[in-house]
Amino acid sequence: MPANKRPRRVNYSVNKKGPITGSKVGKSVTHFKKLKERIAFEGETKWLTNAMTIVLVKLKKYGINPNKI
């Protein structure tokens, strides 16, 4: 078998979009709201700060402005 042939076991399309769950956006918004409540109650902890950065990245990915929530 020549070395320049593509591997047959990796026969998936990289550009093909997978199934999208319809509740991702809603869950990220509710997660953001719950984190805001916890920060108001508990204060700024390291765990909450890290979780908030992750949620803010998700909201930016979905095109949601966190100031309007």
12-56 pLDDT, tens per residue? 665 655 556 678 888 999 999 999 999 999 999 999 999 999 999
Three-state SS for 1? coil
pLDDT category at 10 given cuts 50, 70, 90 is low
Report if residue 3 sits inside a domain. no
For the cut 60, the answer to whether the pLDDT of residue 62 exceeds it is yes
Q: How many CA atoms lie within 13 A of 57 on its CB side?
A: 6
CB–CB of 48/21 below 8 Å?
no
Tell me the residue range of the domain where 39 lies.
Answer: 24-64
- pLDDT, residue 43, reads 96
- pLDDT, residue 42, reads 96
CB–CB of 25/64 below 8 Å?
yes
Counting the structural domains of the chain, the total is 1
Check residues 63 and 11 and name the one with the higher pLDDT: 63
**Nearest alpha-carbon partner for 55 in 34, 28, 27:** 28
Report if residue 42 sits inside a domain. yes
Report if residue 7 sits inside a domain. no
How deeply is 28 buried, as exposed, middle or buried, from its count of CB atoms within 10 A (0-12, 13-18, 19+)? buried
Report if residue 14 sits inside a domain. no
